[in-house]
Structure 1
């Protein structure tokens, strides 16, 4: 048995790697030594969960509220749906693609520096959005699309990947709780922004108020979060990039992540606009984005806990099929009641597809194929702690291109006449591609 300080008490037991099966002692192996304290508990582990949840509330949660901006920019400032969606898509693209450098910095031990830099850039850019004129597209694009995207990207991967430093058997539960921050932010910010934009406060001070809230949440997040340093002062081994890039199951998972991201965010960008254009009362339509994110709160936590017991396959497949079916169901949904039910169900299933992070304990092909259904947040097939950041980064980087081109493509399909049926087909087919691809592997 390993002691609290990670030193084996007997030479008769050899420490095991990250691939240890459930029920066995699990430690990180650096140079053949046991360099890791126990997992799955402790004050620092839970502090990181709280800090990570706060970080995702302010970043991904805010990004999931872009439907509010999509609506106001399109209706109030006569911008095309495709042009406006490039702002939100660029923000999401950078949020995910910046995970590649952020992951490498995490692997090199620069967690705190990366997290602080991301916080400063993100808050500064959000205040710049409040100073930008809504009719000046380039000002909005630079501050909200690029600036907030870069800052959020430096926060996102460290917040998620660092949980793997502290949690093993309950990793899915831990990361499901962290991921729920996305839903919490997606509930808070749409209500806040819609209310402030529609009354005397207006756009500028509405955004400014949300920026102060973000600042107030990121300060404790910076204080609570920290990575787990190696106990012995040894050089960190470099990740084996050749082995990572030739890991076929992992690459399959990465490709599937792209297709999921391709059509995943269509309702988060367009459902509020869709509701208003179909005659739904604005007071109800303003809550559609909130309902999407509210539905994803249990969707991010419950399936993640369930996956620890029944396996990723049984938890993931119904969710991914449900997303595709719901996308096509929009053909028959035109009333307020139907839109509310759709928002809650789509929120739950989309949240579930984003909650299966680092739950894979086996490195066989079958489990990898199953987990590839759960992009964008997916299992990391890391042999050591030092591969976690780069594997997260590669997967998020590739899948980010799906977010970059997906929503503008949907905006182009909608056109000036709002041909919604084209968007429904695009969103639904992109999800079925993942199911068909993995079925035939």
Structure 2
């Protein structure tokens, strides 16, 4: 008997022809048997061709530029300016709340407001990533913009001493709004870039550094003027409204939504969590983010308590974010050539070493030097964390990109939620500075060690990958 037609696909393509011929018995060696064999061979070849075309069609192409691509990058930069730029400026709020608005609250309780904010930026990334993959990018961007602006105006009318008002409006409301905007606005660059993906994402994330330059100057000066806290926050809200309206108008997706079978379902999720090098990378990123934002939250307070000129202190966070602007673009440019992890690992190690330099930030020269160097190298860690996920992608159709980004963001959310409050609790109201700084340095060192452990595995995968 010959091979049943329903099982032909089970035979390897290279052996199908010989298997079919050998399965035909001598009593069918006449012309009809030959014709039957030829028809089967033609059918198998057509089936192989169709499967090859179908698989090739799933692999997206990347324009690597163009008007729509760069407008989308510009829009993403505006989004990160309005979202993560505020997160990186929380040191201004930390200082103001501790001295004026919430003087009875501990440093840990105050930092929880900023930590909740940044927690939601990343934690909401998991459902926002699913919505993005399903084709709801505009819903995420518009809905997040509305919630963020509304919460900003609610923060402007929060009353001094009423801790829950600041926590609800800034920590929860603004944080959730940011979360629905941030990750989709970053991920959408993958629709347009592959070779230049790290650079494009770095430019988008650099918007947060620009925000981190402008917001502290604006807020510090308005908070200390007759306009006060309320109008300072409202001024920022009106500025953010203009940028977010522009971003909603110019950003657009390019690739079609993933089908349900392509989306990050159970099989893909299990495949990703079983990828040990990737999970070790997630652990390293968690440890790095656990401590890397401690100086951003506490540098201004540290400088103020050590007698640095109050006028100069207002610009400490601005200097750090100005340096991080270069740290979020130049290393990303290099990462496109030598690999993201080859840049992120050394940046994390140097950042951990520099945290000890904050002990010397007790005068203008010390604050300036620390802010410049730490801002640059920590910027490389923050900006490359998302592009580095591309080093682990195994599917040419990028079907595992969304779930990998989602897992990373969810892990980072808990690092950012707990890192700064832990530092605040270690600091205590007596301001024992060596405790939070040693904590931050140790965990960032541990993160860089994780990156070193998977360096060989990722380098091999990157060289063999054609994605």
What is the TM-score of this pair, normalised by structure 2? 0.81
1:131 equivalent in structure 2: 157
1:238 equivalent in structure 2: 263
Mark the CA change 1:93 to 1:222 in structure 2 (over 3 Å): closer, same or farther.
same
Whose helix proportion is higher, 1 or 2?
2
Matches of 1:39 and 1:251, distance apart in 2: 31
Aligned length: 401
Which of residues 385, 393, 397 is equivalent to 2:406?
A: 393
1:315 lines up with 2:343 in the alignment: yes
Q: Secondary structure at the match of 1:355?
A: helix
State whether residues 299 and 350 of structure 1, in contact with CA within 8 Å, keep that contact through their aligned partners in structure 2. Answer: yes
Question: CA offsets per residue over residues 256-295 of structure 1, 9 Å max, x none?
Answer: 1211111111111111111110001111001011111100
Q: Secondary structure at the match of 2:383?
A: coil
Structure with max Cα Rg: 2
* Cα displacement (A) at 1:343: 0.5
> Over the residues paired in the alignment, what is the CA RMSD in angstroms?
2.3
Map 1:208-247 → 2, pairs under 5 A = 208-230=234-256, 237-239=262-264, 240-247=268-275
1:268 lines up with 2:301 in the alignment: no
Mark the CA change 1:361 to 1:266 in structure 2 (over 3 Å): closer, same or farther.
closer
* Cα displacement (A) at 1:359: 5.0
2:30 equivalent in structure 1: none
Map 1:347-358 → 2, pairs under 5 A = 347-356=375-384, 357-358=386-387
Q: Secondary structure at the match of 1:354?
A: helix
**Which segments of 5 or more consecutive residues in structure 2 lack a partner in the other structure?**
1-45, 455-467
1:300 equivalent in structure 2: 328
1:328 lines up with 2:356 in the alignment: yes
Matches of 1:170 and 1:209, distance apart in 2: 36
Matches of 2:60 and 2:449, distance apart in 1: 40
Matches of 1:86 and 1:30, distance apart in 2: 50
* Cα displacement (A) at 1:248: 1.6
Question: CA offsets per residue over residues 223-269 of structure 1, 9 Å max, x none?
Answer: 111222329x9666222221122122221111112111111111111
| Segment of structure 1 superposing worse, 235-244 or 86-95 | 235-244
Question: CA offsets per residue over residues 411-431 of structure 1, 9 Å max, x none?
Answer: 111111100011110110011
Which of residues 415, 418, 423 is equivalent to 2:428?
A: 415
* Cα displacement (A) at 1:436: 2.8
Question: CA offsets per residue over residues 92-136 of structure 1, 9 Å max, x none?
Answer: 001111100000101111111111111111111111000111310
Question: CA offsets per residue over residues 319-356 of structure 1, 9 Å max, x none?
Answer: 11111111112233321111111011111011111222
What is the TM-score of this pair, normalised by structure 1? 0.86
2:213 equivalent in structure 1: 187
1:57 equivalent in structure 2: 81
Which of residues 120, 129, 144 is equivalent to 1:118?
A: 144
1:84 lines up with 2:110 in the alignment: yes
Matches of 1:54 and 1:282, distance apart in 2: 30
Matches of 1:333 and 1:159, distance apart in 2: 35
Q: Secondary structure at the match of 2:108?
A: helix
